[in-house]
Amino acid sequence: MPDSVLISFRDQTTGRISDLLNDEGQPCAHSQSLLAYLAGALLDYRDEGVEFTPSIVLCGSIQGFLTAFPGAVSHTIGTAPLQGSAGPKILKDCAPLTSSNWFIFIERTDAETLRYGVFTYFRLPTAIPLQEGININPDQFSILIRKVSANTIEMRGAKSNILTLIFSTVRESSTAGTPVERFMASCCRDVESEAFKAYFARLLDRALTVSHGTILACSNQPLPNLGQEMQDAVHISPLLDFQASFSEFESTNSAESILALQRCEELLQGFLRCDGIIAFDTHGCVTAYRIFFRPSEGGGPQPQIVGGARRRAFEGLRALVDGGQLLSVLFRSQDGLTLQHGSADA
């Protein structure tokens, strides 16, 4: 009887991480073990019942890494042996300190030890995010580990190598950002500023990453004109106008304009924590939230749809896009699946 071969998901993960480190020119068994631990821990890391989703940078020199980010500040929290067993202490000490603007660093001080702590940098609305800035200096060893959806961990190296680990049986598209970009194009159909479009795409991507599932809809007409299916809504007055706030920042570059834009971002995060659909117009504004889709009576037999209430609502909204009432609709499931229907040219 032939010998059986058992290959675990951990074996596959550590093997791919080893390849990534080799491609980045920094093979290290201890770093491989640490990255493998962090990849699994970040999927659902909680401390005292609170969920944290920190972005983590493993590097050879935190000061060298931060030269690419203006206004950067770092604080050392502790030291530990360079091995996988250091992972729990690093997260315990640092994860509660992180936020959308504070991140964890792990610095390999030598072949056997590491130093860890937190860092931040001056996050202007036009500043590049970590995932884009990681490869500014390819000669400076660094790897960014971050959770990009409920079941997906991404590792990006300074030499532009990317490893995506999907902890799910659901097959995801290799162009996961494309649905967000297409939806952004609808929301910015009547916007000329390319800088705002880039900012808005990053905003949506970041907001969706930390959400627990949502539906976004874009329309070029007021909600009451969309039919009885979308009558329930909490209307926002005045509109949450990201374009106006961004334009004010571009023209004045003042502290007040930065704070105004940050307040808009914070309120969008609040909308995402509510049930229902969030509506946008074609000028980059949020017009309403907590919208509930209610299929009209007597519409004939409905197709069988696999999924929960949110997925069924998305399929119903697709018909409104095809009928011209909506321009675009974006669906984000709790496990990270992202779908989009519609066109900015409609």
95 neighbors 47 (Cβ within 8 angstroms): yes
Provide the pLDDT for residue 227. 62
- Say whether pLDDT at 170 is over 60: no
163 neighbors 154 (Cβ within 8 angstroms): yes
Is there a single domain that holds both residue 24 and residue 123? yes
The domain in which residue 216 lies consists of 178-342
| pLDDT tens digits for range 93-137 | 999 999 878 999 999 998 899 999 999 998 777 777 888 889 889
Q: Which of 124, 143, 166 is the last residue of a domain?
A: 166
Strand ranges (E), the chain = 46-47, 50-51, 56-59, 73-81, 103-108, 113-120, 142-149, 152-157, 162-166, 214-218, 232-241, 277-280, 285-292, 328-332, 338-342
What are the beta bridge partners of residue 115? 79, 107
Provide the pLDDT for residue 179. 87
The CATH number given to whatever domain includes residue 147 is 3.40.1700
Q: What are phi and psi of 118, to 5 degrees?
A: -130, 155
Is there a single domain that holds both residue 158 and residue 244? no
Flag whether 2 is in a domain: no
Is there a single domain that holds both residue 137 and residue 217? no
306 falls in which pLDDT band (50, 70, 90)? Answer: very low
The CATH number given to whatever domain includes residue 310 is 3.40.1700.10
Q: Identify the residue with better confidence: 144 or 5.
A: 144
Is there a single domain that holds both residue 138 and residue 222? no
Q: How far apart are CA 145 and CA 1, in angstroms?
A: 43
Count, residues in the chain? 346
324 neighbors 224 (Cβ within 8 angstroms): no
Is there a single domain that holds both residue 144 and residue 255? no
What are the beta bridge partners of residue 107? 59, 115
Q: Which of 101, 134, 166 is the last residue of a domain?
A: 166
Flag whether 50 is in a domain: yes
Flag whether 171 is in a domain: no
Strands 214-218 and 277-280: parallel
Provide the pLDDT for residue 265. 92
Number of domains in the chain: 2
Which residues contact residue 193 at a Cβ distance below 8 angstroms, ignoring those fewer than 6 apart?
243, 246, 247, 250
Is there a single domain that holds both residue 82 and residue 188? no
Provide the pLDDT for residue 174. 42
| pLDDT tens digits for range 13-51 | 888 999 999 999 999 999 999 999 999 999 889 998 888
Q: In what order do the strands lie in the sheet with 73-81?
A: 73-81, 113-120, 103-108, 56-59, 142-149, 152-157, 162-166
- 116: nearest Cα among 158, 54, 163: 54
Provide the pLDDT for residue 224. 59
The owner of tokens 């093979």 is: 27
Q: How far apart are CA 107 and CA 110, in angstroms?
A: 9
Q: Which of 166, 192, 216 is the last residue of a domain?
A: 166
